[in-house]
């Protein structure tokens, strides 16, 4: 394999130069190295394994290995009635539980033709948007940790997330697995003085966003690590089926709350923040801006919150949906979260399929990662905002 060693031809002759060049290149040739990132690695957010092939410090190839968190949530749902199935949604999307519950309930409502009372819709949107804030704060903290801020970003983000979770605990009795929504409405009404507490919370969230702007957004090192890293073009993003902040960071203002308005979103005013070039910094920035928009939405909900029932009258004790199938999608913090529900007329779904946002976003990983540096692998995987439970379901 070694190029033949020659007594060098004269300086300046073409052969001699080329041969020497080949020898030099051979001398410094490095072999490709496989690095197994995960399944137990601090930057993989759950149990995710990426087999990186690196050439020096450049990533040549990446093979995502998923399935470590598969718990058969879809199959389980077939054996649980429509009320119990909500709990599975909590456990599938464990950072944006309310959003997942909403998708599930709305699918069942659409199939059964159930009208949700107005007050319940407002309460739902409020919870969903607060949960979006909590989820994005989780991303911000974890992303800061991935980039390497030694926990400062993490604690900043968790301060706000804890406040949101405290409020949800007061509302639902649970910190993580809320199971608060019901098909047709919500489980119970807001506790006394809840609105005032939400208003205080919004102040804290705004302050938290401002703190983050100061800590990371304009930080030189953060810019150096995330700008122009892991960029993906608009066309590729659509081809891979990226949704949510991943897609919006490329500059496409695709938000299901605007495109396919559901619930009371048409009555609310909010913007869809978009990025410019679809790199990690844009993804970070889009999520940060979305928190501000969510705060606006919750404020409007508080202003417009009507009185009235929270469940439709005459809901059957055991819900049976007519035979048929429905696909309902909502805008989750991570993208399009869809529920495909098939009913054969019983009190349980015949088949439930979850269209996971993270799964599709993860599909674009190779496109973003190949040709970048190894250290960027962490930044890029972090910017996907993965919830492995949702990927594997």
Partner 1 sequence: MLFTWWDNGMFFGQAWADALVRLVIVVAFMTVTVMLLIWLERKLVARIQQRLGPTRTGPMGLLQSVADAIKLLAKEDLRPLTADRWVFELAPFVFFVPAFLTFVVLPFTDDLGIRAGLPLGLFFIVAVSSVSIVGMLMAGLASDSKYALLGGLRSVAQMISYELPLVLSVLSVAVMAGTMDLREIVRAQDRVPYLVWQPLAFFIFMTAATAELARRPFDLPVAESELVGGPHVEYSGIRWSMFMLAEYTNLLILSAFGSVMFLGGYAWPFGLDWGWPWQVALTFVKTTLLIVVFMWIGATFPRLRIDQLMAYAWKALIPLSFLQVLLTGLVKVYGWPDITITIPSALALVVSAAVVRKRLRYTVRRPREERLAYLRARAAARAAGSVQ
Binding site for partner 1 (CB under 8 A): 1, 3, 22, 26, 29, 31, 33, 35, 41-43, 55, 57-58, 60, 144-152, 154-156, 159, 215-216, 219-225, 227-229, 231, 370-378
Nearer to partner 1, 43 or 80 (CB): 43
Nearer to partner 1, 162 or 299 (CB): 162
Nearer to partner 1, 1 or 14 (CB): 1
Nearer to partner 1, 146 or 392 (CB): 146
Nearer to partner 1, 55 or 195 (CB): 55
Smallest gap from Cβ 384 to partner 1, in A, equals 15
Q: Kindly tell me the sign of the dihedral angle through the C-alpha atoms of 259, 264, 269, 275.
A: negative
The DSSP 8-state label assigned to residue 214 in this structure reads I
301 within 8 A of 294, measured Cβ to Cβ: no
Nearer to partner 1, 213 or 259 (CB): 213
Smallest gap from Cβ 164 to partner 1, in A, equals 16
Smallest gap from Cβ 359 to partner 1, in A, equals 23
Smallest gap from Cβ 327 to partner 1, in A, equals 36
The token duo for 237 is: 């993003």
Terminal Cα distance for the chain, rounded: 49
Smallest gap from Cβ 365 to partner 1, in A, equals 14
DSSP string, 33-58: EEEEE-SS-TTSSSS-EEEEEEETTE
Smallest gap from Cβ 337 to partner 1, in A, equals 27
Residue 340: φ, ψ to 5°: -105, 120
Q: Which of 251, 157, 262, 174 is nearest to 210 (CA)?
A: 157
Smallest gap from Cβ 221 to partner 1, in A, equals 5
Nearer to partner 1, 56 or 309 (CB): 56
Please report, for residues 147, 284, 378, the alpha-carbon distance to residue 213 in angstroms, rounded to integers and kept in the order given: 15, 11, 21
Q: Which of 33, 55, 51, 31 is nearest to 41 (CA)?
A: 51
SS3 content of the chain, % helix, strand, coil (to 5): 50, 10, 40
d(CA 58, CA 294): 38
């Amino acid at each position: 394999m070694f190029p033949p060693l020659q007594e060098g031809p004269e300086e300046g002759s073409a052969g001699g130069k080329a041969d020497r060049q080949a020898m030099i290149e051979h001398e410094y040739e490095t072999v490709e190295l496989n690095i197994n990132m995960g399944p137990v690695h601090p930057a993989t957010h759950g149990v995710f394994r990426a087999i990186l092939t690196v050439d020096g410090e450049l990533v040549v190839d990446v093979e995502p290995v998923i399935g470590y968190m598969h718990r058969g949530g879809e199959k389980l749902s077939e054996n649980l009635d429509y009320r119990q199935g909500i709990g599975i949604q909590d456990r599938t999307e464990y950072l944006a539980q309310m959003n997942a519950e909403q998708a599930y309930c709305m699918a069942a409502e659409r199939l059964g033709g159930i009208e949700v009372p107005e007050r319940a819709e407002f309460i739902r949107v409020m919870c969903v948007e607060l949960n979006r804030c909590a989820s994005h704060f989780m991303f911000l903290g974890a992303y800061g940790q991935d980039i390497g801020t030694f926990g400062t970003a993490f604690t900043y983000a968790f301060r706000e997330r804890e406040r949101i979770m405290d409020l949800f605990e007061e509302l639902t009795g649970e910190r993580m697995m809320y199971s608060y929504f019901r098909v047709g409405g919500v489980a119970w009404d807001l506790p006394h003085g809840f609105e005032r507490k939400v208003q205080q919370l919004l102040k804290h969230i705004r302050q938290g966003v401002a703190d983050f702007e100061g800590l990371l957004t304009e930080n030189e090192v953060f810019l150096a690590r995330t700008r122009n890293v892991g960029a993906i073009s608009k066309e590729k993003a659509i081809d891979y089926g990226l949704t949510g902040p991943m897609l919006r960071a490329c500059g496409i203002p695709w938000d299901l709350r605007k495109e396919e308005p559901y619930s009371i979103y048409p009555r609310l005013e909010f913007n869809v923040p978009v990025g410019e070039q679809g790199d990690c910094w844009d993804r970070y920035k889009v999520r940060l801006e979305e928190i501000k928009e969510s705060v606006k939405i919750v404020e409007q909900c508080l202003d417009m919150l009507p009185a009235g029932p929270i469940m439709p009258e005459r809901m059957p004790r055991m819900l049976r949906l007519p035979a048929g199938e429905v696909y309902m999608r909502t805008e989750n913090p991570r993208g399009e979260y869809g529920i495909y529900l098939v009913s054969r007329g019983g009190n349980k779904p015949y088949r439930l399929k979850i269209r996971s946002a993270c799964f599709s976003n993860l599909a674009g990983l190779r496109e973003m990662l190949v040709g970048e540096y190894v250290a960027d692998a962490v930044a890029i995987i972090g910017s996907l905002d993965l919830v492995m439970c949702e990927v594997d379901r």
